[in-house]
Chain A
């Protein structure tokens, strides 16, 4: 079976998958060293989990309360929500700074693969890609056969599927309660 795959016209796809898997493991190792093992990350994650659970329980009990109690409960909820947003923002910036190293590794790996497989289809698509996908799936390839798959698209699929599941498996996935504040977080109207 191994010889059947190695003699296949598109055996280079296995090289792309293998390199992608290795780079995902290396990136997660770097992330663990720079981010996940630090006490700052652990305390931020813990506070986000606690705040989101507290907010959920407060939302559930608010509906059945009297009006005066409801108002003070709503104020408490706003405070918890603000605290959750601040912790999420801190977590985002904390990971963003350390993530620059991971980004450099990914760029280097992509450049290496690009130099190896530029202009060469590494796989065959079993479907005709739509216009959004076509620009990536046919990137750098000659000819008009849109079912030829470039390294970029295969690497993209590998990155998303392998890294996401690896993070999930290792327990490094972001907490569900954390909202992504983006690079330009808006000030909280309730505290101003």
Chain B
């Protein structure tokens, strides 16, 4: 069974109350599995992580260059894997308290995809033509 901070309704309520009284954001919370997260705080952090991954992956793919639509799928898989690993293994949050895996994985997804495509196209066009 997956280790989780909340395994029943009473502890879910406690988690929710913790969320309402969640501590203000500090950078030390980013790697702290004991930190209390507000839904908006966690969503914002996941959003920005995706954007950074999109930026670096796009620039890398354009610089090498990596060519072909398969790299779009590779980026989606990689960025989703990083996000999942971060909230599941590092922060150890219970995804049920934050709307489930779907809600967490879709934070910043479309914006990061467009940012990845933009950086990839720009780096490829400017560096190789």
Interface residues of A (CB under 8 A from B): 4-5, 8-11, 13-14, 17, 53, 56-57, 60-61, 63-64, 123-128, 130, 149, 154, 157-158, 160-161, 164-165, 168, 176
Contacts and interface: CB of A to CB of B under 8 A. Distances in A.
The interface residues of chain A, by DSSP majority, are classed as: helix
Interface in B13-46: 13, 16-17, 20, 39-40, 43-44
24 contacts: A8-B127, A8-B129, A9-B125, A13-B125, A14-B126, A17-B118, A56-B16, A57-B16, A63-B9, A124-B125, A124-B129, A126-B65, A126-B68, A126-B121, A126-B124, A127-B67, A127-B71, A127-B72, A130-B69, A149-B121, A157-B114, A157-B117, A160-B114, A168-B111
B39 A60 contact: no
A177 to B, nearest CB: 9
Interface string B1-19: 0000000011011001100
Contacts of B10: 64
A162 to B, nearest CB: 8
B43 A11 contact: no
Q: Which 5 A-B pairs have the closest CB atoms?
A: A10-B125, A161-B115, A164-B111, A123-B125, A161-B114
Interface string B70-96: 011000000000000000000000000
